[in-house]
Amino acid sequence: MKNVRLKLSKEAMQVYTYLNKQAPNSKHEGMILKALNQKIELIKVNPHFGDPMAKKLIPNECMEKYNALNLFRVELPGFWRMLYTLTNDETQI
């Protein structure tokens, strides 16, 4: 099995930090953080866990800013969603 490594974008890191700060005092943020951590573990086991987006639907901003040639979507509670791309022979998310 390949070693999968997760790298958060700057924006994702800001949201993740916010959720970690708010989770002890907010049920809503705690629920999102818990689901996010669970989904991350599932993605590490199966990088194709999320729903693949059609290439024509990948926003140009994602292609340019993150060099995303593929994009996967994972639904989270509270109408949140996580987007991720696979790079480097699918060993880096």
- pLDDT at 4 > cutoff 60: yes
C-alpha torsion 61→65→70→72, nearest 10: -80
Domain span including residue 65: 10-84
Whether residue 19 lies inside any domain: the answer is yes
Whether residue 61 lies inside any domain: the answer is yes
pLDDT band at 67 (very low <50, low <70, confident <90, very high): confident
- The percent of residues above 90 in pLDDT, for the chain, comes to 67
Whether residue 27 lies inside any domain: the answer is yes
User: In this structure, is the dihedral angle defined by the CA atoms of residues 61, 86, 69 and 37, taken in order, positive or negative?
Assistant: negative
Cβ-count burial 49-59 (b if 16+ within 10 Å, e if not): bbeebeeeebe
Whether residue 67 lies inside any domain: the answer is yes
Say what the pLDDT of residue 90 is.
52
pLDDT band at 83 (very low <50, low <70, confident <90, very high): very high
C-beta of residue 62 within 8 angstroms of C-beta of residue 72:
no
Whether residue 40 lies inside any domain: the answer is yes
Q: CB pairs under 8 A, 24+ apart, for 66-73?
A: 66/9, 72/48
Say what the pLDDT of residue 84 is.
93
Q: What is the pTM of this model?
A: 0.84
Say what the pLDDT of residue 1 is.
61
Q: Give the pair of three-digit tokens for residue 90.
A: 């699918």
Phi, psi of 72, deg, nearest 5 = -120, 145
How many structural domains does the chain have? 1
Say what the pLDDT of residue 66 is.
87
Whether residue 4 lies inside any domain: the answer is no
- How confident is the model over 32-58, as pLDDT tens digits? 999 999 999 999 899 999 999 999 999
